[in-house]
Structure 1
Amino acid sequence: MPLDPEAKRVIALIQEIGRPPLHTLSPEEARQAYTGSRTVLQPEPPEVAEVEDLTCPGPAGPVRLRRYRGAGTEAGAALPCLLFMHGGGWVIGDLESHDQVCRTLANYARCCVVAVDYRLAPEHRFPAAVEDSAAALRFVADEAARLRIDPKRIAVGGDSAGGNIAAALALMGRDGTVPAVGFQLLLYPAVDLGGTRAAHQRFTDGYPLVTVTMRWFIDHYLADKKQMRDWRASPLRAPTLEGAPPAYVMTAGHDPLVDEGVAYAKRLEEEDVRVTHVHMTDQMHGFLTMGRFISASDLALRQAAAALVHHWAREA
């Protein structure tokens, strides 16, 4: 399937402004480049009913969070909640990089979104990001009443590396090491850090995320290659997915992560986990944060929010 012409325009724009490939930069340089791209590629963040920056206790100190309540929600209502982990290969990204995405999901799903500013690699390698996100999930569950969250309707989600963390938290909740969640929202997730699937051979040049960039991220994230076998790093390698919460998995056709995302959705189905898999054949990795140019970004966020609303209606 040909790439969406709007996505082609983004690739051309990145080339025009001369942004070097992330894997040629230091982590700090990559963070600066990613921050600079945000104002160019993302639409203006929509207004929401409420935004609050806060912190929760973490294993290495306070973890920064940002809580959103969707526009039109009642001020005193206990809302369903999505704990959202941002993408960025565990190396780049923060609360600001996905502010527009979180606001949009909060509005479309008429829910609370709590975004997690987990520690980044290589300063803080695996499993720091998972441990910070687990602390955030415990905090949201424990403080649900104060945060005006319905404790019976908590989901985890994220894009790319954030989807990786969300999938790990969903399995940890199943196993009782963190509070159990009712749903997992995985948006072009990284679920196998081995990087051996066919898509890694197909997408080696010409896209914002290519195989060598993904390897750069993983090399910064993992202190030892053996850690890729740990299912908290590679959820697809978990011995079983049976008993995991229902899932929404979105994959993009032009993405080195596509094969592992498809495999994860298939395996969830085979192991009796309710799953909705949406495959956007003409999109590339990262398009959710390129909504100023790629109109399918808004469509994908609407679909993801609809999946949340549908699930939470069943739990109400």
Structure 2
Amino acid sequence: MRLRLAVEVMAPILLPARAVVGGLEQYNARRRNVMTDQATPPKLELSHTALSEDEALRILDGHRIRRGSRVMDPKAQIVGEFVKSVRVPGYFPPLPELRQQLRTMVTLMDEPAPALPRIEDIRIPGAAGEIPARVYAPHTTRALSPAVAYFHGGGWVQGDLETHHGLCARLALHGDALVVAIDYRLAPEHKFPAGVEDAFAAYRWLRAHGRELGADTTRVAVAGDSAGGNLSAVVSQLAASAGLPVPTCQVLIYPALDASLDTESHRELADAHVIPRERIVWYMAQYLGADADTVDPRVSPLRAKRLAGQPPTMIVTAGFDPLRDEGHAYAEALRRAGVDVVYREYPGQIHAFVSLTKAIPQGLTCTLEVAEYLRKRLSA
């Protein structure tokens, strides 16, 4: 189904009024197209995010974004250019508005969640109080199902049970596993290590009490995207350090793994779609504050000195994502430590594409690939 809303209608939802002056007209007048084949990019509207690939190529009219051998997926390019067009560089709206922007974007650009026999909101005990969570059960007749603790993305600042509802439901359905989405505390109200503490507490609880939900506590994976990929990697490392059972496997989707931001992809894609460098730096500042140690493995899992004994891992990256190279580096570090790793780069994709499956169909392809990995690993 195509999105028919004009950008003039949607822009005030995505941004505060003072940040919308001129909308896409202003964007199309000022855009310096340094990453495309030609000098003047096409005019974009929100309805273009729901076009077929052939229609998207026609709208782009040859203005394809390239980096070396990588060519951006035309659907991803239209989404990314639209996101950039309705943002004002250097401006970050108040937190409630910022968080609503992500909810709105996912509502518009992600496919609806599939129906499941059971979806249930629960609360899990944590060190600082109860942690909201949501259970996605693909079966009602099976006694026990393997489980996945899922940690959402959003820069540790945005994201909640609603923004990742569709993704978690799809993973449960196609991965044949009970998925438990964890609504960990967000920054800046709750700075590091609050999110880590919640994620680790939720994993330990699922291991100890998952049978109450219908989970086989001997088969528990962790998974997450972006900041949630960071938390998944941290949970696996903390479990190993504490002498606890490590997850059966872990899936890290375009994970944030090194707070130094010092990789070729960070330099090459500083003006990236969705998460340009200024945005990543801002997210990190909200999460860490001024006194955090950025080489602490709980912040930068890539900096861990010991990775032997980590669980089998799948890492997904996007070719036009500043986080790309740290994901690849972590895959290589795990392999050197003897860990079984599946590394998958989607070379034409942008950050967050797995959560935008209506606008970027390859997000669904990736979701199904992740689900199949989980299904095989958890049934072994």
State the distance in 2 between where 1:213 and 1:296 align: 24
Tell me the equivalent position of 2:156: 90
Does the aligned pair in 2 maintain the 1:134–1:178 contact within 8 Å? no
Tell me the equivalent position of 1:277: 343
Q: CA RMSD in A?
A: 1.6
**Within the alignment, does 1:14 sit opposite 2:14 as a pair?**
no
Shift of 1:223: 2.1
Show the 5 A alignment for 1:70-109. 70=138, 73-109=139-175
Does the aligned pair in 1 maintain the 2:317–2:346 contact within 8 Å? yes
- In structure 1, runs of 5+ residues without a counterpart are none
Deviations 1:188-232 (A, max 9, x none): 100001111111111122501111111110010002354211101
Per the normalisation by structure 2, the TM-score is: 0.79
Q: 2:115 aligns with which of 47, 71, 93?
A: 47
**Does the C-alpha gap of structure 1 residues 242 and 76 become closer, same or farther in structure 2, counting only changes over 3 Å?**
same
Deviations 1:47-106 (A, max 9, x none): 112101000111211100000012xx3434200001000000000000000000000000
State the distance in 2 between where 1:176 and 1:59 align: 16
Tell me the equivalent position of 2:357: 291
Show the 5 A alignment for 1:157-306. 157-176=223-242, 179-224=245-290, 226-306=292-372
Greater relative contact order (Cα 8 A, min sep 6): structure 1 or 2? Answer: 1
Deviations 1:14-71 (A, max 9, x none): 356x34468633333311211221221111111112101000111211100000012x
Q: 2:181 aligns with which of 115, 120, 126?
A: 115
Secondary structure of 1:75's aligned partner: coil
Deviations 1:111-160 (A, max 9, x none): 10000000000000001001011111121111122111111110001000
* Sequence identity (%): 36
**Within the alignment, does 1:133 sit opposite 2:179 as a pair?**
no
Largest Rg, 1 or 2: 2
- In structure 2, runs of 5+ residues without a counterpart are 1-69
Does the aligned pair in 1 maintain the 2:239–2:245 contact within 8 Å? yes
State the distance in 1 between where 2:173 and 2:91 align: 34
State the distance in 1 between where 2:79 and 2:350 align: 10
